[in-house]
Amino acid sequence: MREYVLTLCITVAVTYLLTGPVRKFAIVAGAMTEIRARDVHREVTPRLGGIAMFFGLCAGLLVADHLENLSEVFDNSNEPRALLSGAAIIWLVGVLDDKFEIDALVKLGGQLIAAGVMVMQGLTILWIPVPGYGSVSLTAWQGNLLTVALVLITINAVNFVDGLDGLAAGMVCIAAAAFFMYAYRIWYGYGLEAAAPATLFAAILMGMCLGFLPHNLPPARIFMGDSGSMLIGLVLAAGAISITGQVDPDAMNLFAGSEKAAVHQTVPVYIPLLLPLTIIAVPAADLVLAIVRRTWRGQSPFAADRGHLHHRLLEIGHSQSRAVLIMYFWCGLIAFGTLAYSVNSASMWIVLVIVGLSAVGLILLVLPRFRPKVPYWAEAFVPPRYRRRKALTEETEAAARAAASAPLPPGVNGATAIGGRARFADRDKAGSTR
């Protein structure tokens, strides 16, 4: 665990320290995000934050290669090299898009090349565990096709959700933390060495996100851009592919008693949302809804709009910071709830806690539309928006502004109209307080 923590800290430090110089470079290079109708930010902000994240990835892999225990991952597996190769390709495509805004089909081609390079170097799905049956071996083309599809889905899911300050980095960090705990349990709990690469990838991914988040929290000083969102999506997909396709449930028979029992223990991660996509369930749901919505309107699935989940939270009445925290909450609930269920699927308490937290999450979603009548003596203990006096004052001021901006009828001068409107406003205020 100490070597993983050291790798994590080095990745955080490199990413954090490089983000400042990268921001200055992005400004000089003109890689700036202009303000568009669908955007939430109101200031021109530099992109290319993925440059710092990529060098954080390289630093994490370099440090891990020189540590006593983690160096065995590089000696016994080609997956770290496959990850670095695919990450370099997708990062270059993202940098070009951040600077020149290349066509969506060109980006899709770059994603296919990055996924193909990783498959060629051995990072692919070999079998799929099926509950109640056992592991199903895949042919070469089946495994390669499923691997490429998983990479594309994960990259675009993370890219689509990158719409608010700190949203994508925070959600991926939460998912990576849950994924690290799951992979670490399989690696050291069951002694399956095939889970070691996925554990390393998750630790490095957490470091990349944690190092970038301080610069990206609202109000963001720099955006990760496609060079960052596609990069962290690919790293997350690589870890999912590694632990899904490389860890053989047959090897868990010694601990679970039978192959079916071993598969049953891994069901919470493999089955609910197509393999380990459970950990990015919220971005994946946003991706599916966006494709359906745009296709229904006759638009391209890659056409940008303001229909994403975080945009809907803003339309309901949430602030940007609160919308980000709500998305964090749901991502953490799904990721860690799945993790807890995979550890002990027979515990009813875990299910009840998940259901209870889901109810809390639903209440948080509709909170802006809910304004309870708080007694006057309790107003000091609730936020200002729930205080009755403040709400009445705001309504009175809004009515006065609307009345002042209304056109005057013929024959009425301004002084008479203003005095009359003031009396009506005072009368309405007195009546409402009663």
User: Which residue ranges make up the annotated binding site for Mg(2+)?
Assistant: 159, 226
Which residues define the annotated binding site? 159, 226
Contact 50, 94 (CB under 8 A): yes
